[in-house]
Amino acid sequence: MPDVYNWHLGRTMTYPYPEAHPTKQFAAVFNINRCIGCQTCTGSCKATWTFSRGQEYMWWNNVETKPYGSYPQHWDVKVLQLLDEAHQAAGVQPQWDHSQASEQAPYGVYNGLTLTEASGPNEQVLGYLPAESEWRSPNFYEDTSTGYKGGAYGLSPDGASLPEHQAWFFYLMRICNHCTYPACLAACPRKAIYKREEDGIVLIDQERCRGYRKCVQACPYKKSMYRGTTQVSEKCVGCYPRVEGADPLSDGVPMETRCMAVCPGKIRLNGLVDVAEDGSWVENPKHPLYFLVRMEQIALPLYPQFGTEPNIYYIPPRWAPRPYLRQMFGPGVDHAIERYTAPSRELLAVLQLFRTTQKMIFRYEIEEGPLVREAEINGKPWQMYNDTVIGFDAKDREIVRLSVVEPLHERPMERLNSI
Amino acid sequence: MFTRSRLIIVAVCLLALGAVLANAPLVSSQGLTITAAAIEGDLPIDAPDSALWQQATAVEVPMSAQMIARPIMPETNAKAITVRALHNNAEIAFLLEWQDATRNDTTLRVDDFRDSVAIQFPVGEGQPFYCMGQQGGDVNIWHWKADWQASLIAQQNLQTTYPNLAVDQYPFTEPAENIYLAAYADRNYLTAEAAGNYLALPTHGSPVEDLVAGGFGTLTTQPLAGQNVRGFGEWRDGVWRVIFSRELTSTEAEDVMLAPEKLYAVAFAAWDGANQERNGSKSTSQWVSFQLASAPGTGAAAPAGAAAQAPLTASVAATQPTGFNPLFWGFIALLILIPLGVGVVMLYFYLGNKA
Ligand code: SF4
Ligand code: SF4
Ligand code: SF4
């Protein structure tokens, strides 16, 4: 099997196909801290793509309450367990060596096995096929927190405080990660799955697919789904007509997907990043995704150890236990939370861009504003400036302009109760 | 007393024994010949219990797990298929029988896999690779599917699978009394069907899909107009009985052409849905010789004389008998032969020194 370079892992890994990269990659940053669990994203995808016969159980976008919720049930625990068993069988103690972090390996080097490396001689990818019952009740355990141990009746007399809450949950919003090294694609014996050259979106060829469900078995995130009424599998299409700029509203430039553009919690920022021939992101400090993922490093891949190099990046929740978060997002968690808790002047401005325009932002500029607040965070002084951030579309036209301090409008007396 | 010459004789014998051992499973399905008995009148194309089948000699074809291309499932369930064939100079029919403890004839739920069985013929002269053919050596595959068969008897739909299903509406369907059966006004919402995927059609005229392949991953459904294989299958008491039938000749380049007194190759595959067998996770046979008897009533063809045509390539795996894993046995043979050789050489020099 060829070796491919996975920058999430800081090393090469085995994959059934040789390395080849799209020119641009569909990517997004999801800010878990801000999600309100409203499922508007989930509903928007359903209303756009999966309202037909045979798709009833499909939620290409889903939001689950961690640590207990999962769709399909226990997908993460099951895949982690499989990987754990493979490590034990191979006598490998999987570890991240953060000291080896570099430009090519921002999170350091992972020495464990990935799912393509742990698959054994008979399969391309280590995985499992969820039972039909596991796809049911997609929001089971909604808002269920871990129990508080200590106070009477499970109540804390002092409330909760950072850095870690004892009773905690958080929402995990998930779509297909349009992985750089898709496990679904690796496992398909028909080569019916392909990654688009122009945007890295991963699609299942509906004509070639024969419903073998090897992709369903292989995708660790369980984002490839079988449709019984057509006997083939389907998956999140990355709303590719919008990404192509084919939507009449888009004026010919790439638009954010449906699930991103509807988010009332303003937690999502979707775009296309330039990819170099070696798979790395072309340096572009004024691209909001490049800035958040590569420069500030506050957004992290979900389960990077699976080895698919997923392209949805998460700002981890500040209040959840760090070991749990490190298992989920890798060793970059502490740094990310630290940066997010006391954001730099530029980061605070860029964070305003989330979900403010349907068009994808390809570049931002900042106009500096006055100092508006000074505070101490984690024992260090911190300043807030009312800067203005301006977003530009693919044709470099201004599409959005926002200030860090939200403009306040006071309603005149005579209209006090009107809406 | 050992002398050098005696030792050489012993060594040669041992080596010969090793070679025989390495090639041990000489009993192969390649020695088998299926003969389609010639009868007059209609073939029993949907009657596995018909007495006419008694006129055909039953041949038990050994099956084993496909072990060459990933994904591999080393333990598949079908161990043998009993094959009978009849023809009437215009049509041919095969009756395949194999044991399967469970009937799996729906694929509606996400973890439902079908029972199915396939017959494979080389399209041209010679024998391409027995598993899905090879580049330049196409194979014609007839694939019978238990769920398609079941749907022909009683249409399967979501409501039969999920009796308590409740959906308010399916957009883009025609108004209908039962929305679960409503036809789609816009096919695009049956994505695979709109993309021209034959599997995705709501109904299939035959439970058999007629395909062509030229190597792993190249399996292709023949065009709708070229779907000319009929089928009938029935599960009873742990046994599937499946009949395939087609006209002997076909105008399509992707179809096998059959004529009496010629020797053909044929191979079989079976999938047990209960074991989640699908695609390469299957039981397969090697190529088996196959011929059509020439005169009605004889039930046997003129002696074929030569064996089946030579393989297209010298691919080792392609010519190995059923259940024979060349890598494994080659490895075992090496394990035996290398120490043996070393030992013999050492002994040779040892004795030579002594002498
Ligand atoms: S998330 Fe799953 S379905 Fe999506 S590209 Fe990655 S492996 Fe494939
Ligand atoms: S990107 Fe589009 S298709 Fe994918 S989950 Fe979001 S809305 Fe659905
Ligand atoms: S729409 Fe946004 S805020 Fe609502 S659940 Fe989805 S990601 Fe969270």
User: Is B203 or A41 the better-scoring residue by pLDDT?
Assistant: A41
Residue of A nearest to B188 (CA): A52
Of all atoms in ligand 2, which is nearest to the CA of residue A50?
Answer: 8
Instruction: Say if residue B146's pLDDT is above 80.
Output: yes
Closest CA relative to residue A113, chosen from A300, A305, A301: A305
Closest CA relative to residue A28, chosen from A306, A260, A245: A260
**What tokens does B302 get?**
């003129």
Residue of A nearest to B147 (CA): A231
Nearest-10 crossing angle of helices A322-329, A333-341: 110
CB contact under 8 A, A129 and B279: no
pLDDT tens by residue, B101-120: 999 999 999 999 999 999 99
Asked if residues B128 and B312 have their Cβ atoms less than 8 Å apart, the reply is yes
Give domain limits for chain B.
1-27+325-355, 30-155+203-319
pLDDT tens by residue, A249-285: 889 999 999 999 999 999 999 999 999 999 999 999 9
CATH of the domain spanning A3-341: 3.30.70.20
| DSSP symbol at B322 | T
Indicate the range of A32-41, A91-100, B129-138 predicted with least confidence: B129-138
User: Is A39 or B325 the better-scoring residue by pLDDT?
Assistant: A39
Residue of A nearest to B172 (CA): A52
Asked if residues B144 and B116 have their Cβ atoms less than 8 Å apart, the reply is yes
- Numbers of helices and strands, H then E, in chain A: 10, 19
Percent of chain A with pLDDT over 70: 100
Ligand 3 pocket, mutate which of A31, A61, A169, A171 (most atoms under 8 A from CB):
A171
Of B110, B111, B200, nearest to A230 by CB-CB distance is: B200
Residue B224, C-beta contacts closer than 8 angstroms, at least 6 positions apart: B198
Rounded to whole angstroms, how far apart are CA atoms A129 and A218?
Answer: 8
User: Which CATH topology does B30-155+203-319 take?
Assistant: Immunoglobulin-like (2.60.40)
Instruction: Say if residue A370's pLDDT is above 60.
Output: yes
pLDDT tens by residue, B11-23: 444 444 444 344 3
Helical segments of A22-120, H only = 40-49, 75-90
CB contact under 8 A, B189 and A52: yes
First to last CA, chain B: 11
Interface test with A, best of B72, B110, B113, B131 (most A CBs within 10 A): B110
Q: What is the pLDDT of residue B30?
A: 59
Largest CA distance in chain B: 101
Average pLDDT over residues A10-32: 97
Interior/surface letters A372-403, b for 16+ CB within 10 angstroms, e for the rest: eeeeeeeeeebebbbbbbbbbbbeeeebbebb
Rounded to whole angstroms, how far apart are CA atoms B139 and B244?
Answer: 17
Interior/surface letters A44-83, b for 16+ CB within 10 angstroms, e for the rest: bbbebbbbbbbbbbbbbbbbbbbbbbbbbbebbebbbebb
Expressed in angstroms and rounded, the spacing between residue B121 Cα and the centre of ligand 2 is 44
Residues of A with CB below 8 A from B72's CB?
121-123
Cα of A240 to nearest chain B Cα, Å: 15
CA dist list (Å): A32 to A146, A172, B221, B241, B346: 17, 7, 46, 56, 72
User: Is B29 or B108 the better-scoring residue by pLDDT?
Assistant: B108
User: Is B120 or B158 the better-scoring residue by pLDDT?
Assistant: B120
Residue of B nearest to A122 (CA): B72
| DSSP symbol at A410 | P
Q: What is the pLDDT of residue B313?
A: 34
User: Which residue lies with its CA nearest to atom 4 of ligand 1?
Assistant: A176
Average pLDDT over residues A153-168: 85
Average confidence score pLDDT of chain A: 96
Instruction: Say if residue B3's pLDDT is above 70.
Output: no
Average pLDDT over residues B299-321: 38
CB pairs under 8 A between A and B: 114
Interface test with A, best of B68, B191, B209, B275 (most A CBs within 10 A): B191
First to last CA, chain A: 63
Categorize the per-residue pLDDT at B328 as very low, low, confident or very high, splitting at 50, 70 and 90. Answer: low
Closest CA relative to residue B263, chosen from B304, B313, B311, B318: B304
Give domain limits for chain A.
3-341, 347-403
Rounded to whole angstroms, how far apart are CA atoms A190 and A174?
Answer: 27
Residues of A with CB below 8 A from B192's CB?
206-207, 209, 227, 230-232, 234
Which string of DSSP letters, residue by residue, matches B40-85? SS---TT-TT-GGGGGSPPEEEE-EE--SSSS--S--S--EEEEEE
ipTM: 0.90
Expressed in angstroms and rounded, the spacing between residue A49 Cα and the centre of ligand 2 is 8
Q: What is the pLDDT of residue B329?
A: 66
pLDDT tens by residue, B186-217: 999 999 999 999 999 988 999 999 999 999 98
What residues are in contact with ligand 1 under a 6 Å CB criterion?
A 176-179, 182-184, 202, 219, 221, 223-224, 235, 308
pLDDT tens by residue, B60-82: 999 999 998 899 999 999 999 99
Largest CA distance in chain A: 76
Categorize the per-residue pLDDT at B342 as very low, low, confident or very high, splitting at 50, 70 and 90. Answer: confident
pLDDT tens by residue, A162-199: 889 989 999 999 999 999 999 999 999 999 999 999 99
Alpha carbons within 13 angstroms on the beta-carbon side of residue A300 total 29
Ligand 1 pocket, mutate which of A179, A199, A214 (most atoms under 8 A from CB):
A179
User: Which residue lies with its CA nearest to atom 1 of ligand 3?
Assistant: A263
Q: What is the pLDDT of residue A158?
A: 81
Q: What is the pLDDT of residue A325?
A: 98
CB contact under 8 A, A52 and B195: no
Please give the single-letter amino acid code of residue A278.
D
Helical segments of A50-111, H only = 75-90
CB contact under 8 A, A129 and B167: no
Rounded to whole angstroms, how far apart are CA atoms A90 and A111?
Answer: 12
Cα of A234 to nearest chain B Cα, Å: 9
